[in-house]
Amino acid sequence: MTPAAATIRIVAAVIDDGRGNVLVVRKHGATAFMQPGGKPEPGETPLQTLARELREELGVQLLADSAIALGQFSEWAVNEPGQRVQADVWWVRVEGVPLAQAEIAELIWIPLHPPHGVCLAALSEGHILPAARTLFATR
């Protein structure tokens, strides 16, 4: 019997530019782009985690009243072989101009609808962006 894969819990954000593009980031040493976000610290709520991660990684302020839950999604982790990632995902608005900081090597705006033009993590491409497209189609 194969042991169950370890699960990494994260919180991730979908941030759009109001023109049909969403922000994705690439960490140092990684090839795939993904939604910004990260792992919660003990005692943090998902939105507290997201606010901290967006501040640390992008230098922006989360506008908490804007947050809309997109769902919880699971997929194989792109940067941790043999592990799964489980993400609570929120569509949010931010204040400020995102800049790559901390472990973020690069950030880009990609079209919400494919083709995206870059290598995306399976979680983003197969789960998060389709959920965001569904949300935006109803707005």
For the cut 60, the answer to whether the pLDDT of residue 130 exceeds it is yes
> For residue range 48-94, what is the model confidence (pLDDT) as tens digits?
999 999 999 999 999 989 999 999 999 999 888 889 999 999 999 99
Residues 111 and 136 sit within 8 Å (Cβ to Cβ)? no
- Looking at residue 1, its pLDDT comes to 43
For the cut 70, the answer to whether the pLDDT of residue 127 exceeds it is yes
> For residue range 117-126, what is the model confidence (pLDDT) as tens digits?
999 999 999 9
81-86 contact pairs (CB < 8 A, 24+)? 82/5, 82/6, 83/5, 83/6, 83/7, 83/8, 84/5, 84/6, 84/7, 84/8, 85/7, 85/8, 85/9, 85/10, 85/123, 86/7, 86/8, 86/9, 86/10
Tell me the whole-structure pTM to 2 decimals.
0.92
